[in-house]
Amino acid sequence: MGLQEVRNKIIEKISRFDFLIDGEEDEEDTGPVQIMFTDSSVLEIELVPDGESVEYKWKGKGEVEEEDKKTDWFRIDLTAKEPFFQLQKMKVLDCDELLFGTVKERPESMVVAGIGLRFENGMSLVYYNAGDFAKVYVNEMPLPFNGQFKLVWKNGKFEDIQTGD
């Protein structure tokens, strides 16, 4: 399935995985994110080791990884937290890919550095490769680049999301 298949799906749960250190989450790196939908499909988004891009996979609920308490690998339910809980039971209206590259590059040669989803309640979620860390933004964009690099939406669908501080 392609990314466009996310349209009209309804969010059941958004979760991430993290190695807990002394029982604490790593708030700096979101890590892989799994978006579970009410139709039992799961969109998993994670970083690619190149330090620039992201990739996604579609899975069934039976194919998702489970936490392993012996190794301190825990599933963290983001929809139990602010502001993510506002996305639960929301329908995805649109999606787009966030591209990264130099100012001189054309979109077709840029890498996919993020994925954006827009919901029926007007909220948005952006999963982004911030170099060595994955970041998730709700209702805001990653910081822009100064100089020779840029972030642009492949289809221009999320231009109205404001940059975070």
Answer whether 12's CB lies under 8 Å from 88's CB.
yes
d(CA 30, CA 46): 9
Instruction: Kindly calculate the radius of gyration of the chain based on its CA atoms and give it in whole angstroms.
Output: 16
**Quick count: other Cβ atoms within 10 Å of Cβ 132?**
9
The Cα-based distances of 156 to 33, 49, 56, 105, 153 in angstroms read 24, 26, 20, 16, 5
**Tokens representing 159?**
């231009």
The pTM of the whole model exceeds 0.85: yes
Token readout for 30 is: 């979101």
Instruction: Supply the pLDDT for residue 71.
Output: 59
**In the prediction, which pLDDT does 54 show?**
96
Q: What is the predicted pLDDT for the residue at 165?
A: 47
pLDDT averaged per 10 residues in sequence order, the chain, 165 residues: 95 86 74 94 93 92 64 81 95 96 90 96 94 90 86 86 63
DSSP annotation of 71 reads G
Helices (H) and strands (E) in the chain, counts: 0, 10
